[in-house]
Structure 1
């Protein structure tokens, strides 16, 4: 009887270890980490331009373990969606927060710098490859829509957004997508882009439950109306992928 119980216990433990390992490999955690939640709140509040609230979120993000460079990269990243003014004001606020914390003898970790890019391909080709990786769709055929109407912006997107910005390794693709959907949800009126990036979030390993949690963070940090709009788009995306 004792041997039988022992075997059951061993089997249960092995099952739990296998399940935990599988979840870690497939990114199916049901909750965003504390750092990921901080990235969402910092990005959304920066995009709104609420600098008083941003100071609170920046302090919380540093306390959650984000490095100075991770937050700096987050605020630099979001300029591509919210514009230089919001990004620069966010960076200035981060500088103030870091100085205030130093004055209190709080020395936050600076963190890693972006690695140099040693790829011989053109920025356009590198950006195109990154976009294909994110969307899971090959960029082939004739350009349509805005890309055909204004070819220069299609080039700017490939070369600058997906090469110059997404290629930097201070943040992962998953983290950059969380930043992106936070900004898009905050500024509103860009539903097609939000839809595209929510799909990319699922492609890079975020789970539906984590995206539902993201909507809750938008509600608590920005507002119910923004969260309601984000929820509607998320519902469409999840329904289309069933």
Structure 2
């Protein structure tokens, strides 16, 4: 099957028989888009369609491309992702893109869910409380990054220690410990989010090592970053790949 046939088959699987406005107004551009994303990128590497749709959602969330995001929420449901998995992927964005942008996305997701008669709120995935969120978050940090985390906390200037504490309690305690997505998927989504942000090479390198530590190999990282390419462009894709190659050199 050639890429054009592949793209038609994949597009129908994801979006049904519907067409976008650009099919009518800009057919050449739509053909380039569809054939590249759904005929080439979707078939590169070792990720399944569910993983790919979660990656797509977080990159669109990061970019705040909300009209496209709504269509991809429906596509995510079409390939078998649960409302919990979709919501958890979006929640995972909050420490990196901030609350306002995340709330923008949550509102769009909720509109799709309501239209499909998915009851809200969905079941809670919280696993921590006020007494243990810091320690549970620190435990996850150490699992991902190793003992360097404790050294970072110890060496932080006194007027900045609260930032390290927020990282443990908020970023990792409030989010990474939640159910719905496993640690490998959360860490893979995180590297896609920060790659899409741009200008985050230091954090990308840290999360390349973190992904490796939790079991996401170089092939998986390359596939994930490649899947981000149509949504974030070549400059940020190439920057992210350079970070991967620096931390995990080719043999």
TM class by smaller structure: 0.7 to 0.9
Name 1:70's counterpart in structure 2.
85
**Alpha carbons 1:147, 1:154 under 8 Å: kept:** no
Name 1:196's counterpart in structure 2.
206
| Count of equivalent residues | 207
Name 1:216's counterpart in structure 2.
226
**Alpha carbons 2:188, 2:221 under 8 Å: kept:** no
Residue from 180, 195, 200 that aligns with 1:185: 195
Per-residue CA distance 1:17-70 (angstroms, 9 max, x = gap): xxxxxxxxxxxxx61122111111100110000011111221221112111111
Structure ID, larger Rg = 1
- Structure 2 vs 1, CA of residues 50 and 137 (structure 1 numbering), >3 Å: closer, same or farther? same
**Alpha carbons 1:41, 1:182 under 8 Å: kept:** no
Mapped to 1, the partners of 2:152 and 2:106 lie a distance apart of 39
Name 2:64's counterpart in structure 1.
49
Name 1:27's counterpart in structure 2.
none
Mapped to 2, the partners of 1:130 and 1:183 lie a distance apart of 19
**Shift in Å, 1:147:** 5.9
Mapped to 2, the partners of 1:141 and 1:195 lie a distance apart of 18
Q: Normalized against structure 1, the TM-score is what?
A: 0.76
Query: Is 2:244 the counterpart of 1:234?
Result: yes
- Structure number with the bigger relative contact order (C-alpha 8 A, sep ≥ 6) is 1
**Alpha carbons 1:31, 1:213 under 8 Å: kept:** yes
**Shift in Å, 1:81:** 0.2
- Structure 2 vs 1, CA of residues 52 and 130 (structure 1 numbering), >3 Å: closer, same or farther? same
- Which residues of structure 2 form unaligned runs of 5+? 1-44
Name 2:54's counterpart in structure 1.
39
Mapped to 2, the partners of 1:82 and 1:130 lie a distance apart of 20
Query: Is 2:89 the counterpart of 1:86?
Result: no
**Shift in Å, 1:72:** 0.9
Name 1:161's counterpart in structure 2.
171
- Which residues of structure 1 form unaligned runs of 5+? 1-29
Q: Normalized against structure 2, the TM-score is what?
A: 0.73
**Alpha carbons 2:127, 2:177 under 8 Å: kept:** no
**Alpha carbons 1:70, 1:111 under 8 Å: kept:** no
Mapped to 1, the partners of 2:131 and 2:115 lie a distance apart of 43
State the Cα RMSD in Å.
Answer: 2.7
Aligned counterparts, 1:108-127, within 5 A:
113-114=124-125, 116-117=127-128, 122-127=132-137
Mapped to 2, the partners of 1:204 and 1:37 lie a distance apart of 19
